[in-house]
Chain A
Amino acid sequence: MESEQQHSAASLRAVEIGVAVVIFLFGALVVFDSYRLGARWGDDGPQAGYFPFYVGLFICTSGAAILVRALRNTAFAAESFVSREELKKILTVLVPTIVYVSVIGYLGFYVASTLYIAYFMWHLGKYAWIKIAPVSIGVSVAFFLIFEIWFSVPLPKGPLEAALGLN
């Protein structure tokens, strides 16, 4: 239905197959490491890998079952998992989010959050800076008051807080 109007970025079947393979490999990894640790009966009971070994086997089996079902069912090859437009929308949120969490360590939580909210309002909301500045700074200040002062839960801080003597 929609897939005919919008360009599909990935078919449902392709993603289903890909995820099933990843699940199978993950299960194999669990089985492998449990086997290394010993998945048998030790001197004083089951060894460390006993339980995870079977968990891994179950993961492999279910991954294989999903894979076989997806390979045999060609009907949903035409169905779209995500269209290009949708993927673009998701990446406009996901990429800044990844950047945001990776700069927290350098800038601190509050500065990074301010920039992150400001970017969203500027890029997605097309707001003017006169509105962006008070909202993004206000939210971060509110969080600072709630977490640092009210609940005394310290969050990572960066150069700005150090300069202001708020550490």
Chain B
Amino acid sequence: MEEINALLQGFGVALSPLNLLLMFVGVILGIIIGVLPGLGGANGVAILLPLTFSMAQQPGGTTSAIILLSCIYWGALFGGAITSILFNIPGEPWSVATTFDGHPLAQQGRAGSALTAAFTSSFIGALIAVIMITFLSPVVAGFALRFGPPEFFSVYLLTFCAFVGMSGGNAAKTVASMMIGFALAAVGLDSVTGTLRLTFGFTSLLKGFDFLIAVIGLFGIGEILETLEEGLAFKGASARINMKVVLETWKELPRYWATSLRSAAVGCFMGIVPGGATPASFMSYGLARRLSKDGNDFGSGRVEGVVAPETAAHAAGTSALLPMITLGVPGSPTAAVLLGGLLIWGLQPGPLLFVEKPDFVWGLIASMYLGNIAGLIVVLTCVPLFAAILRIPFSIIAPVIIVICAIGAYTVHNSMFDVYLMVVFGVIGYAFKKLGYPLAPMVLALVLGDRAEENFRNAIKGSQGDMLVFFSNGLVGGLTSLALLLLFWPLIRAGWRVVLGKS
């Protein structure tokens, strides 16, 4: 039980007074970020990342920094449920499915039980995912220690092919968004050959595009513009949670244990495969409706209809960190931002992290347990406070959010050019969202572009340009084949249906 020992040491790291304080600060900030329109997990973490630069330089500081940022992420996951249930506005895409039954419950005056059910199932989903991370990540990391450049490139390939094959949207748009991310990542000084690429003589492009600026612009400014045209009237149900409601709901929840377990399993799986929390929440809502005794009443305010998507979304959001810490491949945009943070602090995410920085890894994993407990306590006690934030008029909150985004963009490199870029990315984000281009592949490509290219180059350098290096042994061949299978999955499925239909 090596993992248990390592985890206990991790708890030792995470339980220091400073780290506990950061946990609560992170969770509270995260919930505020999750509740506010225009701020979400990904850009919230991106904006606060520069503030951790100095923190990370102290001894043990990287652990504190990742605890702060990952707790912001847990908080944002919790916060999404508040707006969905009380205001029928999904704060995050993965809370859309929560509105289906959560908001009807609130309208019937049962907001308290809906919120309690949502928070509790979020917590359970996260807990199951963290337990899985605890035991699975050392195995995955150990396995990945044998990886060379071809294997790493095929893992990246797998990630990106999964986006194309599993997204369900327009494949050409997914490819376009992803490849634009890769192209933007290539801009600037090429570290291998020392040549300038795609700068066209502009000195401001020498450093290239920072993904943090892209995240803040695409998700922050873009979302504000989108919220704006939808109208700004927030009509919310009142939020009161008292101990009696909580206990009553908790008495009801064990009845839905099957739904919880099923949703957690869906969430854990979808979180590891990039695609993430949003499809997981819809999928488990659909499954729960089909398999539940009173599935026909779903949509009219069933607690079970809140349990299913919330458990899955939180499980997926948490397990998205598994490939991030073990392979250096983030499963969601927010995980991508956290990965970018590790790189900035000078840590090399990937299997070696478990060997070289066990304190960091296990401190992070321990903080996942503690952070979610902290989150549950904070949300159950402070809901009315957070709901009040949404009652601040839009004409005040919108400029304040844009100012925060601008500060975040500026502080990344202390450069005004980045602030202008942020606005440009905001307009792109708005247009792309309205036209159905997915934004997550672009962000992931922007973060992983350099590493993917480096591994690709080293792999084909080793093989003297022979592309068959990606099929040279069972491991890399299997990964590449799986990537291609996922890439062409929609075609394969369509073909399969044709064959079945004719026979």
A binds B: yes
Q: Which residues of A contact B (CB under 8 A)?
A: 12, 15-16, 19, 23, 26-27, 29-30, 33-34, 37, 41, 44-52, 55-56, 58-59, 61-63, 65-66, 69, 81-82, 86, 89-90, 93-94, 97-98, 100-102, 104-105, 109, 113, 116-117, 119-121, 123-125, 127, 135, 139, 143, 147, 151-156
Chain B 330-346 near chain A by CB (<8 Å), digits 1 or 0: 00000000000000000
The answer to whether A98 and B423 touch across the interface, beta carbons within 8 angstroms, is: yes
Known: A16-B435, A19-B431, A65-B172. A48 touches B407 (CB 8 A): no
Select A41's contact among B221, B416, B420, B465, beta carbons within 8 Å. B465
Residues from chain A with a CB closer than 8 A to the CB of B420 are: 101-102
Residues from chain A with a CB closer than 8 A to the CB of B173 are: 62, 66
A-B contact pairs, 8 of them (CB 8 A): A15-B431, A37-B197, A45-B461, A48-B195, A48-B197, A55-B182, A143-B403, A147-B411
A15, A23, A51, A123 pick with most chain B CB within 10 angstroms: A51
The answer to whether B179 and A59 touch across the interface, beta carbons within 8 angstroms, is: yes
Residues from chain B with a CB closer than 8 A to the CB of A12 are: 435
Chain B 417-436 near chain A by CB (<8 Å), digits 1 or 0: 00110110001001110110
The answer to whether A51 and B453 touch across the interface, beta carbons within 8 angstroms, is: yes
The minimal Cβ–Cβ distance linking B64 to chain A, given in whole angstroms, is 14
> How many angstroms from the CA of A41 to the CA of B406 in the assembled complex?
42
B195's nearest neighbour on chain A, judged by CB, is A48
A140's nearest neighbour on chain B, judged by CB, is B403
Residues from chain A with a CB closer than 8 A to the CB of B432 are: 19
Known: A33-B197, A48-B192. A90 touches B407 (CB 8 A): no
The answer to whether A66 and B172 touch across the interface, beta carbons within 8 angstroms, is: yes
Select A55's contact among B183, B200, B410, beta carbons within 8 Å. B183
How many residues on chain B are close to A (CB under 8 Å)?
56
B453's nearest neighbour on chain A, judged by CB, is A51
**Which secondary structure dominates chain B's binding surface?**
helix
> How many angstroms from the CA of A153 to the CA of B182 in the assembled complex?
31
In B386-438, which residues have CB < 8 Å from any A CB? 393-396, 398-400, 402-403, 406-407, 410-411, 414, 416, 419-420, 422-423, 427, 430-432, 434-435
Q: Does B383 contact A (CB under 8 A)?
A: no
Q: Does B15 contact A (CB under 8 A)?
A: no
Q: Does B186 contact A (CB under 8 A)?
A: yes
Give the contact stretch, choosing among B85-93, B115-123, B223-231. B223-231
Residues from chain B with a CB closer than 8 A to the CB of A26 are: 180, 183
The minimal Cβ–Cβ distance linking B193 to chain A, given in whole angstroms, is 4
> How many angstroms from the CA of A117 to the CA of B170 in the assembled complex?
39
Residues from chain B with a CB closer than 8 A to the CB of A86 are: 229
Known: A23-B180, A58-B175, A97-B423. A52 touches B461 (CB 8 A): no
The answer to whether B198 and A33 touch across the interface, beta carbons within 8 angstroms, is: yes
A121's nearest neighbour on chain B, judged by CB, is B395
The minimal Cβ–Cβ distance linking B271 to chain A, given in whole angstroms, is 27
Known: A51-B186, A104-B416. A94 touches B411 (CB 8 A): no
Ranked nearest first, the 3 interchain pairs of A and B with the lowest CB-CB distance are A125-B395, A62-B176, A86-B229
Chain B 58-70 near chain A by CB (<8 Å), digits 1 or 0: 0000000000000
The answer to whether A113 and B403 touch across the interface, beta carbons within 8 angstroms, is: yes
Residues from chain B with a CB closer than 8 A to the CB of A65 are: 172
The answer to whether A135 and B396 touch across the interface, beta carbons within 8 angstroms, is: yes
The answer to whether A97 and B402 touch across the interface, beta carbons within 8 angstroms, is: yes
The answer to whether A51 and B180 touch across the interface, beta carbons within 8 angstroms, is: no
